[in-house]
Structure 1
Amino acid sequence: MKKIIVYLMCILLLFSGCAPNEKEDEVVKKDEKSSKKTSTIVPSYQLSKDDYRMVLPFRPSKARGVIVNQVANRLDIDEVENGLRRHSKEVFDPDKYYYEEGQYLTEEMVYNWLGRTLTKDQLKKEVKEQKENLEEAGKEVDEEKIKKDLQQGLNPSIEDDSDKNAHQDNPKYLSHIVEQNYLKKKEDNSVKLAGISIGLSMKSVYRYQTETGGPYYYEDISKEEMEKQGNKIAERVLKRLRKIDGLENVPIMISLYREAKQGSPVPGNFVAKTTVPEGENSIGKWKSIKEEYVLFPSDRAKEAYYDDAEIVSSFGKDIAEYFPNYVGVIGEGLYVDKELRKLSIEIPIEFNGESEIVGFTQYTFGLIKEMFPDYYDLEVKITSSDQIESVIYRESGKKEPIVHIFH
């Protein structure tokens, strides 16, 4: 890891010394709802035409950290955020919009929304307890506000938490809510919120307990039921967003993400999305998203994408013939409408010296050029122990791969 960091620092120093300076980062004013405008830097350069420029200084999401406690699979944690940004590009063009992490949904708000709706008896009990606490503290009691604050959960209510059948009939569907903000520069050189994207991370498997310290039970949630519940939740989320100061009129893209099982070696995927025009308070049509991540090697890869599975298998066999220390190829493919868009491969191998790393990378480079079609992005990481030794990357449509050896 240290070698990678040093390498990247060198590259940055090289770019800072050699890059043309006719373009400078823009200092603009961020147009907040208050009368004050804060200075913000908008980088002049994009890493690529497909990447968003991010306003600086960087402000982390107001709900930062919630996702780690709510989503079980680490791969889902990355994909629900990265995938939402990828799908947002169809609505918010990276050439015209700047990106910032969510600034409207707070940690407390998200946790409240992820809870269950209370039954009438539960609500009555909770209101009574809060009223008594406020009265004892000599504070003003607003019963309607207390009710509203308590009844924020978007997951279905359950009368008896120890009833297994109740859990099966009313699973928690919603795991997390991701917010991303998209800004535009105005004529007065300020940047203002111009749209937001919301990702609703939905469970494919509901895990629950009927008693503290007891065994965990698991309830599968079908894709159809997940989407049905997700549509209902999205309507409620939209109405709440429109009541937030600053979000009354902006376009809002909402996407449904279906999580993978807890131990899955690949992440889940987005299944549907919709865009609500500025000022609108209801959702129109949903657009189906047909994408999936596939593990190589796997039965799913052989059954659904046989030709690609054979290429990855042959690639591994050719490497095994040349290098005795090779232990196997692990691949992950992103398919959109059943067409491979990106293939990531990791080759773990033990090396005895730097020259062996260079030789192995050269040999792998040749195999890539010979074996893999160029209509999708391809990334091959060659690793040793817990570090990356080299990376070979080829962008879709390019003939020649790019190689980085970290030493």
Structure 2
Amino acid sequence: MKKVIVIFISALLLMSGCAPKMKEDQVVKNEKAKKETSIVPSYKLSNENYRMILPYKPSKARGVIVDQLANRMDIDEVEEGLRRHSKEYFDPESYYFQEGQYLDKDTVYNWLGRRLTKNQLDKEASEQASTLKKNGYTVNEEKIRSDLQQGLNPAIADSSSKKQQEAHPRYLSHILEQNFLQKGEDGTTRLQGVSIALAMKSVYRYQTETGGPYKQRKISVKEMEAQGQKIADTVVKRLRKMDGLQNVPILVAIYREEEQESPVPGHFVQKAFAEKGSASLGKWKSIKEEYVLFPSSHANDKYFDDAQVVKGFADEIAKYFPNYVGVIGKGFYINGEMKRLTLEIPLEFNGKGEVLGFSQYAYGAAKEILSGHYDLEIDIKSNSQMESLIYRDADEKDPTVHILH
């Protein structure tokens, strides 16, 4: 669980001044025939996590995702979820993880744009060719037109037309790349896999005039999947033309965003795999996962038993603590089965003794009531500050408590 890992890492950092030097493997990274020495730590947080090559290299498109996805929880889930789905194809035991190094900011922004209509393309290509000629440059009109026509979202002739905006929404919000490397017998690490997430809208917000009101157009799952598959085919073909990506396996996963104000993130809906050297994706696989808010009508309708368990836990705590204001929960489901439950309990505390007493009681209630076979995390907060943390992995019987000082 993310918060647990953060605390664990912090503890390691605090101890690093007096701890013995951590074991690490020194490898040579072979990148486009240019060799550079890198470090791969010998230890990782768990068998489910990838080891990462150091020094850590941020994505070449770093920061783009923040501009493109309106819901902060979608940002986290796209990144973490793509890594989770990549494990089916790139085993953490034998692959190292690195953020995307092939799609840079300019490329991603260009691909996220709209295609141009014929008239728009003719006009812009003519203007660029004319400017180049005036400055004494050789003009390659075919390349100019190709560079201008990079957008993966549908073309629109008149953005001020509500009818055209409704008929041709922007489906694609973001493209996320992740890289997976392996160490060869010669000690060098080479790219051996690429994963791509296509973040697709569930709701298209648009304006027909600058500064005007926003309108909304909902996008069905079926429509989104059809558009996502078409975009995925184009993306794979483009990747195959890039230096270093001609022969590596490529995973593409389609992510459905939630609405901007949603308290839970969206989820992945489909994935497909292109074998080494192939410019075509194989059969699409459906992904049956979702995040569910507790309490909510959706939780009561679809996951009634789980909703009642969470309610029972909240009711038990409410009996003894007057400052209690409620429990907000988020369940993560795969194939209809809850895999992780995160609960947030906001309270007003008057001292550490009250924090300790509340945490002890919440621990007992969690042990007795929240006994399902899923990862559990309970965040106890005051004024948006974490006071204590209760967590349990799915394979453990008893939760663990941390009181934060």
Q: What TM-score results when the alignment is normalised by the length of structure 1?
A: 0.95
Q: Could you report, residue by residue, the CA deviation over 1:116-164 in whole angstroms, capped at 9, with x for unpaired residues?
A: 1111110000001111221232222211111010000011111111111
1:28 partnered with 2:39: no
Contact 2:275–2:281 (CA under 8 A) maintained in structure 1: no
Match of 1:171 among 147, 161, 169: 169
Return the alpha-carbon distance in structure 2 between the equivalents of residues 345 and 336 of structure 1. 18
Contact 2:268–2:287 (CA under 8 A) maintained in structure 1: yes
**Which residue does the alignment assign to 1:89?**
87
**Which residue does the alignment assign to 2:358?**
360
Counterparts of residues 280-359 of structure 1 (less than 5 Å): 280-359=278-357
Return the alpha-carbon distance in structure 1 between the equivalents of residues 241 and 114 of structure 2. 21
What is the deviation of 1:16?
7.1
Counterparts of residues 253-272 of structure 1 (less than 5 Å): 253-272=251-270
Q: Describe the shift of the 1:187–1:103 C-alpha distance in structure 2 as closer, same or farther (beyond 3 A).
A: same
Return the alpha-carbon distance in structure 2 between the equivalents of residues 255 and 335 of structure 1. 18
**Which residue does the alignment assign to 2:394?**
396
Q: Could you report, residue by residue, the CA deviation over 1:150-182 in whole angstroms, capped at 9, with x for unpaired residues?
A: 000011111111111111111111010000000
50-59 vs 365-374, greater mean Cα deviation: 365-374
**Which residue does the alignment assign to 1:279?**
277
Return the alpha-carbon distance in structure 1 between the equivalents of residues 8 and 105 of structure 2. 36
1:133 partnered with 2:128: no
What is the deviation of 1:190?
1.2
Contact 2:201–2:257 (CA under 8 A) maintained in structure 1: yes
Secondary structure of 2:319 counterpart: helix
Q: Could you report, residue by residue, the CA deviation over 1:6-56 in whole angstroms, capped at 9, with x for unpaired residues?
A: 99644434477567x7x711111111113x311111010010111111111
Return the alpha-carbon distance in structure 2 between the equivalents of residues 393 and 399 of structure 1. 11
Q: Describe the shift of the 1:173–1:385 C-alpha distance in structure 2 as closer, same or farther (beyond 3 A).
A: same
Residue type of the partner of 2:241? K
Contact 2:255–2:269 (CA under 8 A) maintained in structure 1: yes
Q: Could you report, residue by residue, the CA deviation over 1:45-104 in whole angstroms, capped at 9, with x for unpaired residues?
A: 010111111111011100111111111111111111111111111111111111000000
Q: Could you report, residue by residue, the CA deviation over 1:316-358 in whole angstroms, capped at 9, with x for unpaired residues?
A: 1111111111111000000000000000000001110011111
4+ aligned runs moved over 3 Å, structure 1: 4-19
Residue type of the partner of 1:45? Y
What is the deviation of 1:374?
3.7
Match of 2:75 among 74, 77, 80: 77
Identity of aligned residues (%): 58
Residue type of the partner of 1:27? Q
RMSD: 1.6
Return the alpha-carbon distance in structure 2 between the equivalents of residues 169 and 281 of structure 1. 30
Q: Describe the shift of the 1:9–1:281 C-alpha distance in structure 2 as closer, same or farther (beyond 3 A).
A: closer
Secondary structure of 2:234 counterpart: helix
Counterparts of residues 149-164 of structure 1 (less than 5 Å): 149-164=147-162
Secondary structure of 1:78 counterpart: helix
Residue type of the partner of 1:33? K
**Which residue does the alignment assign to 1:217?**
215
1:42 partnered with 2:40: yes
**Which residue does the alignment assign to 1:67?**
65
Return the alpha-carbon distance in structure 2 between the equivalents of residues 11 and 179 of structure 1. 29
1:55 partnered with 2:53: yes
Return the alpha-carbon distance in structure 2 between the equivalents of residues 292 and 212 of structure 1. 35
**Which residue does the alignment assign to 2:13?**
12
Secondary structure of 1:303 counterpart: helix
Counterparts of residues 159-238 of structure 1 (less than 5 Å): 159-238=157-236
1:384 partnered with 2:385: no
Q: Describe the shift of the 1:294–1:161 C-alpha distance in structure 2 as closer, same or farther (beyond 3 A).
A: same
What is the deviation of 1:404?
1.2
What is the deviation of 1:216?
1.1
Return the alpha-carbon distance in structure 2 between the equivalents of residues 170 and 25 of structure 1. 52
Residue type of the partner of 1:176? H
Secondary structure of 1:322 counterpart: coil
Residue type of the partner of 2:13? L
Return the alpha-carbon distance in structure 1 between the equivalents of residues 362 and 261 of structure 2. 30
Which 5+ residue runs of structure 1 have no aligned equivalent?
none
Q: Describe the shift of the 1:73–1:357 C-alpha distance in structure 2 as closer, same or farther (beyond 3 A).
A: same
Q: Describe the shift of the 1:178–1:358 C-alpha distance in structure 2 as closer, same or farther (beyond 3 A).
A: same
Residue type of the partner of 1:96? S
Residue type of the partner of 1:138? G
Counterparts of residues 97-108 of structure 1 (less than 5 Å): 97-108=95-106
Q: Could you report, residue by residue, the CA deviation over 1:173-202 in whole angstroms, capped at 9, with x for unpaired residues?
A: 101000000011111111111101000000
**Which residue does the alignment assign to 2:121?**
123
Contact 1:200–1:254 (CA under 8 A) maintained in structure 2: yes
Which 5+ residue runs of structure 2 have no aligned equivalent?
none
